[in-house]
Every structure is written in structure tokens, then in C-alpha cells.
Copies of this chain bind each other. A is one copy, B any other.
Amino acid sequence: MRVTNLVSKTSRTFPADEEAKNAQLLIRAGYIHKEMAGVYSFLPLGFRVLEKIKNIVREEMNSVGGQEVMMSVLQPKDIWQKTDRWDDKKVDNWFKTKLVNGTEVGVGLTHEEPIIDSIGDFLKSYKDLPKIVYQIQNKFRNELRAKSGLFRGREFLMKDMYSFASSQEQHIEIYENIVKAYFKVYERLGLGEVTYRTYADGGIFTKRFSDEFQTISPIGEDTIYLDREKGIAINEEIMSDENLAKMGLDKQKLEKVKAVEVGNTFHLETKYTDALDVYFSDKNGNQQSIIMGCYGIGISRLMGVIAEHFSDDKGLNWPKNIAPYSVYLSFIGQDEELKKTAEDLYEKLTDQKIEVLFDDRDARPSEKLTDSELLGIPFRIIVNKGTLSDGVLEFKQRSKTDLEHLSFEEIINRLK
């Protein structure tokens, strides 16, 4: 992509009411546009990052047997009344709207009820279980305040997965497989080493804890207590001697750290399946309850977390698996030959299937370098007079300070 063709541009400003650093950076770099508090649009660069995160999540969810679906946003009242989650007094962050004939409908904030309603007819026998389905779709939550940028939106992109099992053993096997898949996701997103499985409140339907996946970061809004040796943490909210005993954690060994939640998994037991009258017949023909789990990863939230977590005072700094482009390429100097060399290089890199953002503007050097840092593209290649006469190129990693002088072949090896 040529910078002169790209729809977005960088900017020094952001909306005055934008308090969150992640959104400030992403707006300035032209990745997103603020529609209202907690609602953002994704411009081409932001869309590319979202798609890359989506595809990593999708691959890992497929690898544990998840089947992808797309549920509707508009929600009929009746299925939510069966689980007692329609009333605004019970669930206080619904967006609701009306059909022309006055019928109230919900705007999807989660999808346990509709997924059970959609596939319940296919889960009649023990032979039909287990099943795992997921979707990656916008969710809508009517948050009173929405000041955290992509961390907590009124509209946000989420991967939500649901599992259905015929026994506790089957459920736990699936649940633990999905936990492993979550860690593969965080690994691929560059967060693997700083993300911990964290015990959290399980809700009123289960005696089990739920799990949060918490990334240690100074930008975190949560506080967790971490046992580094065991690689396990506990959310401050449920910190008690009784709970520590249940988890086998020793208070003395725990380290208090700030963390940001990048996923969660819940045991729903049979609460929702029972409420929607969905049962299966076991081997003896007896009717049994279906055990359900649900598993969330906020895709747009992760984009915000990663944007902010890896940023520095110069701008964004994407992990290479999800950067919108791998390479920022430009030339510095007036000589026509420099631009022509950069053009040739753009073609050669593209031929090698390397995703290049080619800054083909005749802009001031400082403007180009400032933009390249704000945009956070992992690798930068600059053609200039000095390097060109030596037959090399200036190569820099966004996350490092040193400039290297490498041949084209050396650069290709670095990038692959």
C-alpha cells in the first residue's frame, strides 16, 4: 500500500473528550475514528489489525473443534424471558429497540439464549454431544460510562464461544482444551509471557471459579495476586483465605500486580440449557441436562490493549503477527534515483509476499520518520544517499534504537 493511496492520514490531534491513551494513539495514527463515547469505526489500518487478530483467534478456536456461526444482533424477547435476563432490572445494560408494530426487540449483548435456541434441536442424544460453536461479531452493551477507548466499548467486536457437554468429565476436558487454545492465542499475539490464568468469581450457578486471562501491564485496571512459580493468579475481588486454600495458593508467595483482562471462560453448568428446555437422552434413554461453558475474547479490546501495552512516547509498536503491514519503506533525499530505488524495492518486497506500507510522499524526512514511529510498523527500511552508495539499506526495528545497514538479501532473511 502506498501512503499516498491510503485513506487515512496521521494527525497530531484527537477528540477533546477522548481520555483513553489507546484510543488517542489509534486515532492519531489513523487506525480508528470515534463515533461517540465507546463507539469507534475501524479505518483501513485498524481493520487490518482487527482481521489479523480475528484470524489468529479463529484458527485456534477451529483447532479445538469450534464451529463458526453468525448469530443475529436483533433478539426476540421470549427466549430471554425464559432465563430471566430480559428485564432491565435484571440486566441493566441492554440496548432495546422496537419493530414497526411496537414489538420490543433486544440488541445482542451476549448470545447464550439464542445459540441454545438455534441448535437445541440438534442436541437430543448423547451421540450429539459434545458440540462447540463460536462467532466473532459485534456486541452492544449500554455502559453508563465509556471512557476507556477500546478497553470497554458500547459496541465492540467479540469472539464468544459456547460448549455443550453430556457430563462433567466431558465439559472439563473441553474447558481445559479451550484454556490451552487461549494461551496459544496470547502467545501468537505477543502477550504469551505476561498473560496468566487468573481465578475469578464463578457466578451463582456454579461452585467452580471462572477463569480470567490477565496480562500484567502498568495500564491494567485490575489487580491480581500472582504465583509466578505456579503460573497462576487470583483476582483481588475474590481474595480470601478460604479461596486461597481451595486453590492451593500460599498467600506469602503471591505478588500483587496490575493487569488487564484479555479473555475469560465460565462454567455455566445447566442453568441456561435447563431454562430453555433443552435436554438430551442418555444411553439408557433417560432425559439429562446439558452442561454448558462460555468463553469470551474481546477482539477490539485486545487491539486496544496491545496498542497501549506496547506503545512508547513516539507511538504504536505492533507485534509482527498483527501489524497492519510488516514493513514501512521510504526514501530520504531529493535525488530522483532514491525514489526510483525505493519504488523498485517496493515491487520486489511485494513480490516476496511481504506486506509493505510504502511512504511514497515527497515529505520532509522528519515527517516521514515521525509517522513511521507513530504508525508502529515493526520494520523500517530507508533508502538514502549514504547507504545507497555502499550498496546497502538502512534497516530499523520499531522496538529497537539501533540502525543497521543490510543488503536486500539480509533484509529478506530478517523478515522471514
Chain A contacts to B: CB under 8 angstroms: 4-9, 11, 30, 33, 35-36, 39-44, 46-47, 50, 65, 67-76, 93, 95-101, 105, 107, 114, 117-119, 121-122, 127, 131, 133, 138, 140, 142-144, 154-155, 157
Contacts and interface: CB of A to CB of B under 8 A. Distances in A.
A65 B5 CA distance: 9
The 6 closest A-B pairs by CB, nearest first: A33-B118, A44-B67, A42-B70, A95-B97, A41-B71, A97-B97
Contacts of A46: 70
Q: Which of A67, A107, A121, A143 gathers the greatest number of chain B CB atoms within 10 Å?
A: A67
Contacts of A127: 4
Contacts of A119: 7-8, 33, 43
A95 B349 CA distance: 47
B100 A142 contact: yes
Given A7-B67, A9-B122, A33-B118, A72 B142 contact: no
A4 B100 CA distance: 42
Given A74-B36, A107-B107, A127-B4, A69 B97 contact: no
A341 to B, nearest CB: 23
Contacts of A75: 35
Contact of A122 (B7, B65, B68, B70): B7
A118 B72 contact: no
Nearest to A156: B72
Contacts of A43: 69, 118-119
A107 B114 contact: no
B95 A69 contact: no
Given A33-B118, A44-B67, A69-B47, A144 B107 contact: no
Contact of A42 (B5, B69, B143, B154): B69
A28 to B, nearest CB: 12
A194 to B, nearest CB: 28
A39 B114 CA distance: 12
Contacts of A99: 142, 154
Contacts of A50: 70
Contacts of A100: 93, 142-144
A320 to B, nearest CB: 21
Contacts of A70: 41-42, 46-47, 50, 157
Contacts of A98: 95
A71 B119 CA distance: 30
Contacts of A143: 100
Contacts of A144: 100-101
Given A47-B68, A97-B95, A127-B4, A74 B9 contact: no
Nearest to A118: B33
A138 B41 contact: no
A33 to B, nearest CB: 4
A107 B140 CA distance: 11
Given A140-B73, A142-B99, A133 B65 contact: no
A73 B114 contact: no
B44 A133 contact: yes
Q: Which of A30, A46, A69, A76 gathers the greatest number of chain B CB atoms within 10 Å?
A: A69
A35 B155 contact: no
A99 B35 CA distance: 14
Contact of A6 (B40, B67, B117): B67
Nearest to A135: B47
A47 B9 CA distance: 35
Q: Which of A8, A70, A100, A107 gathers the greatest number of chain B CB atoms within 10 Å?
A: A70
Given A41-B114, A69-B41, A119-B8, A74 B140 contact: yes
Contacts of A140: 73-74
A87 to B, nearest CB: 16
A76 B246 CA distance: 48
Contact of A155 (B73, B142, B157): B73
